[in-house]
Each structure stands twice: as structure tokens, then as C-alpha cells.
Amino acid sequence: MSRRTRVAVVGAGPAGAYAAAQLRASRARPDVDVFERLPTPWGLLRGGVAPDHQEIKALADTFEAEVFGRGCRFFGGVEVGTDVHHADLMRHYHAVVYAVGARSDKTLGIENEHLPGSLPATDFVGWFNGHPDRRDLDPLLDVRRAVIIGNGNVAADVARILTRSVDELARTDIADHALAALRESRIEEVVVLGRRGPAQAAFTSAELRELGHMDGVELRVAPEEAELDLVSTEWLDEEGTFTARRNVKLLREFAAAAPQAGARARIVLRFLRSPVALHGASRVESIEIARNVLSRDEAGTIRARTLDGETETIECGLVLRSVGYRAVPLPGVPFDERNYVLPNDRGRVVDGDTRAVVPGVYAVGWIKRGPTGILGTNKRDAEETVARLLEDIDTLPDPPEAGDLPLPDHVSADGWRAIDTTETSAGEALDRPRVKLTTVDELVDAARQPA
């Protein structure tokens, strides 16, 4: 009963943070070590949540208190799969919880998709949020129109950052390199394409409303774009969510609004449109889009089908695809190649073929359930995984090695606090929440400063 159990959590994003916090708060109170490939913790809370949604970043204080404040150790800048391997972890820990998220993006599979000027929206998000891997992205902003493919909250975030005034952005923790580039940006119009109709828009209604209430930015929805087809009208009546009904109502209001004189920039929402091809000689010059119609399949899901024939060409120099994240396999751990997750039973990782439990290996967050849900979804997800681990905890064999895993240089929780202090102090002078350090070297240097 009294033996000390050691758990490694791989990935310090929201799912890993919730899992680590819950493990430490449990009666079993195992030792918890959190491994993270970046020198900084909290994953998409730092690198995904848009800088103009600063309120949400307060969740970091809760993570700080409940993860590091409860004695979890942090090993930042240590990549599992590169610096240390799954087998190493299994030799030193009773259990390993993978919380590595989904670091790649889905592609469209269209002609010229990889022309310069065409990027995954998630790379662009990493760029403006100071993710060290995206610092040198250098998006082409010397153009008047950008097109975003997909209309979820990532698309909304990107549309706002491309159009919001630089003065407003300068009061956030947006990366300095992004602020400098956006200052020079010539983008005047951002077109957001939705594959399905207004009732199926993936924005939350809060994000949609925000697009229509930005200073100096006109949100344009053509009246015919806000109209619902028969399939959607029926669906909305029968099983539409509160969000879908609010979105439709908001879109009708936006469509009915008079054009806004003197707007600095414009966001245009289009629906029932899919990209067919990108065109351009050496960089994106235009996008060709087709019209879709909706129908319901046997399962009741509303699907878009592209109509053959007429297409429309929109001139643009920047195309950001925002059609979903995709996880990448981890060496030495089973992977479900069809669903891009670790095959698992309520958080216990299982063999992909036999479904036999792989003892001591767990998954949480996007690598467990796929890239769905919002921050708080990870709390329930972590509870499920942590409950399985705690059920198993007495049966997990002692690992062969009792001591600490030999690790390369890394950033500890104190090192992260030193980074945090450096960034927030730099921000104070400028009336910003923080000034982010955006290279691994800068971050590691800051971590070495005495607190």
C-alpha cells in the first residue's frame, strides 16, 4: 500500500495538466513528472488561444497551482520519442500517460495546395502566438485578400488577428515578430469559406458575434448566404443546438445590416463552398471554389456534396486551411491510423488489433479522443483516464529502475517560473500581459536566470 508510485505525463498541454493535477490530488498521490517538448508548459493555452482572448489564459494560474504547486516536476524541452524513448519511460515509471495532442493538420488534397502563400491555419496561429517552431513562418501578408478554408473557432481567431487594429493587438501578448509583420500587412479583406451552410457553421456563437463587433472591421454576409435550405431548416427545428440557432439568428442580423462606411478591413462569410484548386505561378494568386448542396445521410448527418460545373475564382495571395488537426504516431506506442489516436479503452491504451490492454500506458486529451471539445472538455477526459489509472495502480509492476531517468538539460518548474517572470516583467513596462520569448534559446536562457 505504501509503495511510491511514479507516473510520467507526456505533454504539458491542458489535458496533461488536468491529468497531472488530478493524479496529485488523488488519495494514491503518485509522484508525477511532466515531460514537455517545449521549454514552456500549458500547450495550446499559450500557443493556441488567441492573444485577444487573454481572459482564458488565466487558466494557467490554476494549472500552476494544481500541477507544480502540488509537487509535480516539470521536464521542459525534453521530447519523448527523440530525447528519451517510450521504453526508457517504461523502465523508470509505473505508468505513462500520453497527452501529446494532435500536432499536425489535415490537408485538403487539392491542386497546388502547397504553393507559397498557402498554409495550415494552425501554423499561422503558432506564429502569432510565439510558438518557437513557427517563428520563421513568414506568412505572405503583402496581399489584399486572404481566404480561410473552414469556419470553426480557429478560423475565427485567424480572421480577427488578420483584421484587428495593430493598436489593439499591441496590448496583448501577441508575438513581437507577428505584431511587426501585421503592422506592414496589406490585407483588407478576409473571406471565410464554410463547406456546409449557416446552420452548420462550426463557430461558437460567441466567436461569430465577436467577428461582427470589431472596431473598424465590417462583417459582410450576403443575404442569400444567410438563407437556409430545406434540409437545414428541418434539422434546426428538430435537433438544432442552442449554438446553431443563435448562429443562424446572428447571421440573419449581419446579413440585414447596412454596409459599414469607413471600415478599415472586411471579413466576408461564405457558405456552401469548397475549394477546388489554388492557382498561381510561383505563389498563390487565386483560389477556385465550387458550390455545395446539403443532404442527410442514413445516420442523419448533414453532408455537403460539391456540384459539378460552375466554379468561381477569388483572387487572393494568402490561403489558410483550417479544416482540423491530426495527431502523429509515437514510436513504440500503438497508433490507430484510421482515427489518428492512440487506440484506447476509456484512457487505457490497447493494442490496435487485439484490443488487449497495454499495461501501464494511458492516453488523455486529443491523442485519446481526437481533436474535439474545448479546454474544459479535457477535465472530464482526464478524470476518466485518471480513474482507470487509479483502478490499476496497485497491480502495476514496479519498474526495473528505481532512480530518475537520466535526462538532457531541461527546464524545471522553477525555470519556467523564471521565464514567466522575464516575460511578464517585460510586458509590465509596455502595459501588455507579457512579451513572449519565441526561440528555444531565449527561453532556455531565461529559465537559467535566478528567480
Scanning 216-224, 274-282, 337-345, 375-383 for contacts with another protein by CB under 8 A, the matching segment is: 375-383
| Residue 282 DSSP one-character state | S
List the one residue from 33, 105, 189, 210 that touches another protein (CB under 8 A): 210
Query: Minimum distance from CB of 216 to another protein (Å)?
Result: 16
Restricting to residues 225-284, name those near another protein by CB under 8 A: 241-243, 245-246
Between 161 and 181, CB nearer to another protein: 161
List the one residue from 206, 256, 257, 307 that touches another protein (CB under 8 A): 206
Does 209 sit near another protein (CB under 8 A)?
A: yes
Q: Pattern of binders to another protein over 295-324, x per CB under 8 A? A: ------------------------------
Q: How many CB atoms lie within 10 A of CB 75?
A: 25
Does 58 sit near another protein (CB under 8 A)?
A: yes
Restricting to residues 185-204, name those near another protein by CB under 8 A: 204
- How far is Cα 363 from Cα 386, in angstroms, rounded to an integer? 9
Scanning 55-63, 77-85, 261-269, 349-357 for contacts with another protein by CB under 8 A, the matching segment is: 55-63
Residue closest to 57 by CA, chosen among 427, 324, 382, 444 = 427
Cell digits of residue 321: 486551411
Q: Output the CA angle 230-191-308, nearest 5 degrees.
A: 50
List the one residue from 374, 408, 441, 449 that touches another protein (CB under 8 A): 374
| Residue 15 DSSP one-character state | H
- Tell the burial category of 354 from Cβ atoms under 10 Å away from its Cβ (0-12, 13-18, 19+): exposed
- How far is Cα 135 from Cα 131, in angstroms, rounded to an integer? 6
Does 215 sit near another protein (CB under 8 A)?
A: no
Does 62 sit near another protein (CB under 8 A)?
A: yes
Residue closest to 19 by CA, chosen among 100, 93, 109, 124 = 100
Give the DSSP H or E segment for 192: strand 189-193
Rounded to a whole number of angstroms, the distance between the first and last alpha carbons of the chain is 38
Scanning 59-67, 138-146, 331-339, 427-435 for contacts with another protein by CB under 8 A, the matching segment is: 59-67
Does 173 sit near another protein (CB under 8 A)?
A: no
Q: Which 3 state secondary structure label does DSSP give 44?
A: helix
Between 135 and 379, CB nearer to another protein: 379
- How far is Cα 389 from Cα 400, in angstroms, rounded to an integer? 19
Binding footprint of another protein on the chain (CB under 8 A): 53, 55-56, 58-59, 61-62, 204-207, 209-210, 241-243, 245-246, 373-377, 379-380
